[in-house]
Structure 1
Amino acid sequence: MQKVTSADGTAIAYDRVGRGDPVILVGGALCDRNSNRPLADELASRFDVITYDRRGRGDSGDTAPYAVEREVEDLNALITVLGGTAAVYGHSSGAGLAAIAASSGLPFTKVALHEPPYGPDDVDPSDDGERVLELIGAGQGREAVELFLMMTGMLQAEALAIAATPGLADLAPTLAYDFAVMDYGLNGGGTPVELLREVKPETLVLAGTASAPFMVDAAHRIVTILPAARYAELTDQHHAVPPEVLAPVLVDFLRR
């Protein structure tokens, strides 16, 4: 584990494996740098790969007040570590963050967005997100994680079991950060159209055919918005894809 100092002085912890062209892996909600480590190991024979703890997670700091722009600065600090440019892969809300960072002009060579959970424009926002934040504020981290997982379409029994995973409730406060990321750039709809139009690098959008329908729909929708994008279908895959299945798709895209 190594650390880099972000623009506001926050220490960002990261692991770096492999050699080759640089790639940063951005985790989604309730993930730390270890969540993407199996994928990093799959890519390490061809790429110089960084996985990192987003601020507020794992061994990274969490300077208040939070702002999405600070997470963009964290990514910029990691790009500097890698020599000034890098490709980026983001999963779920991590894909939302990668899109924001790319739209801001960070020097990404390529961008891979894996099921960013943008909602449809014709559906009223759920009150569940506010309830998650209330539970976090009340110190009920496990209950907040459980409700969040059910918001993603998970059955309650499975959500209960996962929410009881040791240490997972400690990440509950960062769900507020993921909500802020996914709300960033919205203008009366569920998809940040103007933001996505500013993502200039070549982009791969991925979705599994067995994932929640709203995530598949979002992937198809944003491909039509992004300036230089193509779609990759992951047959029979859910939101979490085994690294040995995902890695060859990323290698094919990143090495073109």
Structure 2
Amino acid sequence: MTVSYATSADGTRIAYETHGEGAPVLFVGGALSPRQSALAYVPHLADDWTVVCLDRRGKGDTRESTPWSVEREIEDLAAVIEQLGGAVNVYGHSSGAILSLKAAAAGVPMTTLTTYEPPFLTTREPEGWKDYADRVRAMASGDEPGDAVESFIRHTGAPWDDGIRQSPFWPAMVALAPTLFYDLTIVADAQVPADTLGRITAPVLSLYGGGSPAWAENSARAVAAAVPGAAVDAAPGQTHNADPAVVSPILKDFLRH
């Protein structure tokens, strides 16, 4: 495995690694997701496509750079895409899906864009969303950054077990605690920015898990309704952390058409 770097507009070096041959598929992960989170897709896609695993700003081998902003992360995607040839297929997961949608709307060139469960809440506006993001940032910069990780996981509604703190992957999660504020800021008020998404010209597939709560399907359908010509589909039986073996055939079918 070789780590490559693209230089973003502010000079930050953005790390990524590639696997396979063919047209690139750039995976943009969400919260607590360094580039290794996309490696499970390699066995399913690398025979026909180049799987590009990305370390977003502040994660993995992409070092912290200040001041952070959503605009800087969009510039990061633009730099990586330019280095990969100027237009690629993009797969965004969770808050990484929202970032990818915002990048596409800003004119970052994409051959296709697939989104999986961007955390938009179409039926209500979360109370105190910005206050919560600020609290997570304070926890992450304090003496117990693990508290920020635990709070975030509980906040998403994912099951929590105190044994997670003793798991072998816990230190890596804690190391990513400062970036939780970034993902919460990308999600913003969790409302679908329909006017912004209406500017996207790339073909878009809006995916959700067939076993996910209702918000996921509502979000996927709202994205598809906002993006001209977008399609919506469900990954059978899947939840927010979907099995690549189930998602990959759907993704392949979209990429081939």
Q: Same fold (TM over 0.5)?
A: yes
Q: In the alignment, is residue 149 of structure 1 matched against residue 159 of structure 2?
A: no
CA distance in 2, matches of 1:77, 1:87: 14
CA contact (8 A) 1:40 1:50 kept: no
**Are 1:244 and 2:248 matched, yes or no?**
no
Counterpart code for 1:174: T
Q: Where does structure 1 lack aligned partners over 5 or more consecutive residues?
A: none
TM-superposed deviation, 1:241: 1.1
Residues in 1 aligned to 2:256 and 2:23: alpha-carbon distance in whole angstroms? 9
Secondary structure (helix, strand or coil) at the match of 1:34 reads helix
Contact 2:134–2:181 (8 Å) recurs in 1: no
Opposite residue 221 of structure 2, the aligned amino acid is H
C-alpha spacing 1:124/1:54, structure 2 compared with 1 (3 Å): closer
Kindly indicate whether residue 54 of structure 2 is the aligned counterpart of residue 52 of structure 1: yes
Give the 3 Å change call, closer, same or farther, for CA 193–139 of structure 1 in structure 2: farther
Q: Deviation digits for residues 96-148 of structure 1, max 9, x if unmatched? A: 11101100111101110100001235334245444323312324221111111
Partner of 1:166, secondary structure, is helix
Matches within 5 A, 1:57-68: 57-68=59-70
The secondary structure found in structure 1 opposite 2:201 is coil
Letter in 2 for 1:153: G
2:179 is matched with: 174
Residue 139 (structure 2) pairs with residue 135 (structure 1): yes
Alpha carbons 1:128, 1:151 under 8 Å: kept: no
The SS at the match of 2:35 is coil
Deviations 1:146-176 (A, max 9, x none): 111111112332xx34455222111011011
- TM-score of the pair, normalised by structure 2: 0.91
Distance in 2, matches of 1:173 and 1:212, equals 28
Determine if contact 1:18/1:44 at 8 Å carries over to the other structure. yes
Paired residue secondary structure (2:199) = coil
* 1:73-222 aligned within 5 A: 73-120=75-122, 122-126=124-128, 128-157=132-161, 160-162=162-164, 164=166, 165-183=170-188, 190-222=191-223
Partner residue, 1:233: 234
Secondary structure of 1:156's aligned partner: coil
Q: Distance in 1 between matches of 2:76 and 2:163?
A: 32
Distance 1:191 1:139, change over 3 A: farther
Work out the CA distance in 2 between the residues paired with 1:161 and 1:211: 24
SS in 1 for 2:5: strand
Q: How big is the shift at 1:42?
A: 1.9
The Cα shift of 1:201 comes to 0.8
Q: Which residue of 1 aligns with 2:17?
A: 15
Q: Distance in 1 between matches of 2:29 and 2:45?
A: 16
- How many residues align? The count is 250
Output the CA distance in 1 between the equivalents of 2:90 and 2:172: 27
Give 1:253's aligned residue: 254
RMSD: 1.7
CA contact (8 A) 2:133 2:185 kept: no
Supply the AA of the counterpart residue of 2:22.
G
Question: Distance between the aligned counterparts of 1:110 and 1:136, measured in 2?
Answer: 35
Residues 249, 162 of structure 1: alpha-carbon distance in 2 compared, 3 angstrom cutoff: farther
